[in-house]
Structure 1
Amino acid sequence: MSCRKASVALLAAVVACTALAGCMPWGDDEPEKKIGAAADKAQGGKADQAAARKEKTARAAKVKANELGQIPVLMYHRVVDKPTAPDDRTPKQFRAELERLAAEGYVPITAAEYVRGRIGIPAGKHPVVLTFDDASPAQLTLDGSGRPMPDTAVAILQDVAKRHPGFRPVGTFYVTSDLFGKTRPEEQTQMLTWLRENGFDVGNHTYGHRNLLGMSKKEAMTEIARGHDLIIKLINTEPASLALPYGNQPSTPSWALKGNSGDIAYTYGGVFRAGYTPAASPFSKDFDPVDLPRIRSMDKVKKDECHRFCSTAWLDWLKANPDERYTSDGDVGTVAYAKFKAPFMAPRFAPYALPY
């Protein structure tokens, strides 16, 4: 019996169940923190709990943890030797950005981990979400042995991770019906299965990459639901998030977060747009699941909006303003922050707060 369905007569059982990770007061489509109280109780007694909390607080203060800080969600498209579109990156540019992230203490997480608040990275490190749109063969192509081909985005990411222990080779691929240039369902399943089995996340980018702006409610939900259903049919896994084609919301933004078409229903933990700022912590009052920003991967260019709003500019800004970025305390069971930042925390995470 789940916590939500328990009757008043079983209140004691509910209290016990709520202490377990599987019976949290929110679902998989919302940010989640594994409750820390159960572990503390196992240590026995209020004195032990107080000592454990004091130790956690000291660790958080030592690394200047800020789990209410901003998180860069970077947006990539093709990684090719000869770019032909503004969103293309060369293998050299892509590798250089990953090397910079590793050097500056970032650890990749998936979009699913981000929207669910499952940010389990070492103390003092900063999460970054790497997202890849449109399922291009330049992002992932497998050779005859099932290994990523050299100079594809995944191969470069894995190579950088080998050179920098602790830099997780994970990211989220927002796919459409044109899956990495594969047309047979068996080949499409093969690609998505490889991603899932290697720690990557697969998100919905709609079925046909059509602009949702201006569509009727029925049209928009049908386009989203078809993409959602495609992923389920291929790998029996529901996507946790949606990336909007062209970054455009439907006329009613909430249609992208939750809806249905016939017997196909979808509910997402977050909907991502195309720019232009770092994203709010999932534990912050500023976190808006229907309107999550991403940052285009691009170098600074004079007289161009990316001089201020693309990845190089924002990574420069976060480096110059370290108190504004998310810094982990190393404990997935707490939300750690300096006391004066308390007004910015979403109230429902109060049980997990660790101010210092």
Structure 2
Amino acid sequence: MGRLKVVTVGTVVVAVSATMSGCTSGNDDSQGKDPKVAAAVKASAAAAVQANLIKTKTAAAAKVKANELGQVPVLMYHRIVDKPGNQDDRTPEQFRTELERLAAEDYVAVTAAEYVTGRMDIPAGKHPVVLTFDDSSPSQFELDGTGAPKPNTAVAILQDVAQRHPGFRGVGTFYVTRDMFGKTTPEERAQVLLWLVGKGYDIGNHTHDHLSLRGKPEKTVNAEVAKGHRLITSLINAVPVTIALPYGNQPNTKEWALKGTSGDVSYNYGGVFLAGYTPAMSPFNKKFDPLGIPRIRSMDKKGDCARFCSVAWLDWLKANADERYTSDGDAKTVAYPKFKAPFMLMSFAGRSLPY
């Protein structure tokens, strides 16, 4: 003799056929202890919870128009000085003005390492921006006698803007060379790098001697990159995740800059940064190329920079908001409008959240 037991969990209904061992008084408590029934109920409950969670996340992503397949501005800075000596220099006032603009337009600073690894944990509706500093100039970072960043250095200005705009984050990536912020002894160099890493900054390789890698044989490229890699790892317990090529010049075979060995030093980076001149693709986008990630030079709209430097590109991203990376607020998912699905990098498919 048998009967059909119906168990309702949320919106999911599970039907279980139960076999009775004989005539009873109608009180069949043994069925409540059937492991198959319990497993089915548990699975149904979990499925209902998961479906509801996805529905909630999808609605939240749609509300902020999340587009985590969009473009990310990677800004490139060199010296921050009162009297610029070339087109790469910026004054402290110009640098501060640009940071204030980024904060006002809902950008959140992330490091180059966070960007290339897809670990950009920023609030919903916000946009990532990667701040990169080449050549490790003292104008970028130097400590005063109290152990604080000297006024008007890039770090001091960035820390101040982040304090005024708490959601902005005072972080960036420094691509260091042997100049190492003007420090000469290992102790002094270690001190500045440890301070930066301790505050959430990222240290990247810019090669030891800042020599162009274009046209060099593989052995020479490997040696130059490895020497810069050792410079960092010999001072702090942190392995650089990215490299910025001197002058933006790629070697004859692009992969040589990304991965190689020289002597007892091996390197394997998550991304290779160039010197210009467009926004970069999301690391979740099929168009993302870790062998050549573009950066944008910080400069006003004049000359060539009328189209290809920071002010011009930030204007363009503001006017074309649907092209810009916009976060859904959940670092575990990659949210985007359904029509952009063909651009999703399949290695991140497990985190996909189309809406």
TM-score tier by shorter-chain length is 0.7 to 0.9
- The aligned counterpart of 2:155 is 154
Measure how far apart 1:305 and its partner are: 1.3
Structure 2: give runs of 5+ residues left out of the alignment.
Answer: 1-41
Residue 227 of structure 2 aligns to a residue whose secondary structure is helix
Residue 96 of structure 1 aligns to a residue whose secondary structure is helix
Does residue 1:273 correspond to 2:274, yes or no? yes
- The aligned counterpart of 1:344 is 343
1:259–1:43: structure 2 CA closer, same or farther, 3 Å change rule? farther
Structure 1: give runs of 5+ residues left out of the alignment.
Answer: 1-40
- Runs (4+) of structure 1 moved beyond 2 Å? 41-44
Greater Cα shift, 133-142 or 345-354: 345-354
Measure how far apart 1:171 and its partner are: 0.1
- The aligned counterpart of 2:109 is 108
Write the letter of the residue equivalent to 2:247.
Answer: Y
Structure 1 Cα separation of the partners of residues 242 and 337 of structure 2 = 30
Does residue 1:185 correspond to 2:186, yes or no? yes
Structure 2 Cα separation of the partners of residues 283 and 150 of structure 1 = 38
Residue 109 of structure 2 aligns to a residue whose secondary structure is strand
1:78–1:43: structure 2 CA closer, same or farther, 3 Å change rule? farther
Measure how far apart 1:217 and its partner are: 0.6
Report matched runs for 1:108-257 at 5 Å: 108-257=109-258
Measure how far apart 1:83 and its partner are: 0.4
Residue 122 of structure 2 aligns to a residue whose secondary structure is coil
Q: How many residues align?
A: 314
- The aligned counterpart of 1:30 is none
- The aligned counterpart of 1:311 is 310
Structure 1 Cα separation of the partners of residues 44 and 160 of structure 2 = 41
Structure 1 Cα separation of the partners of residues 148 and 261 of structure 2 = 37
Measure how far apart 1:44 and its partner are: 5.5
Residue 67 of structure 2 aligns to a residue whose secondary structure is coil
Write the letter of the residue equivalent to 2:189.
Answer: Q
Structure 1 Cα separation of the partners of residues 193 and 166 of structure 2 = 25
Does residue 1:331 correspond to 2:330, yes or no? yes
TM-score by length of 1: 0.87
- The aligned counterpart of 1:25 is none
Write the letter of the residue equivalent to 1:132.
Answer: F
Write the letter of the residue equivalent to 1:314.
Answer: W
Residue 180 of structure 1 aligns to a residue whose secondary structure is helix
| Percent identical | 69
1:262–1:56: structure 2 CA closer, same or farther, 3 Å change rule? same
Structure 1 Cα separation of the partners of residues 147 and 260 of structure 2 = 36
TM-score by length of 2: 0.87
- Structural RMSD (CA): 1.2
Residue 298 of structure 1 aligns to a residue whose secondary structure is coil
Write the letter of the residue equivalent to 2:175.
Answer: Y
Residue 220 of structure 2 aligns to a residue whose secondary structure is helix
1:173–1:42: structure 2 CA closer, same or farther, 3 Å change rule? farther
1:88–1:54: structure 2 CA closer, same or farther, 3 Å change rule? same
Output one character per residue of 1:217-261: Cα deviation in whole Å (capped at 9) or x when no partner: 111110000000110000021100000000000111110000010
- The aligned counterpart of 1:26 is none
Measure how far apart 1:347 and its partner are: 1.3
Asked whether the 8 Å contact 1:43–1:49 carries over to 2, the reply is no
Asked whether the 8 Å contact 1:206–1:244 carries over to 2, the reply is yes
Residue 130 of structure 1 aligns to a residue whose secondary structure is strand
Residue 107 of structure 1 aligns to a residue whose secondary structure is strand
- The aligned counterpart of 2:92 is 91
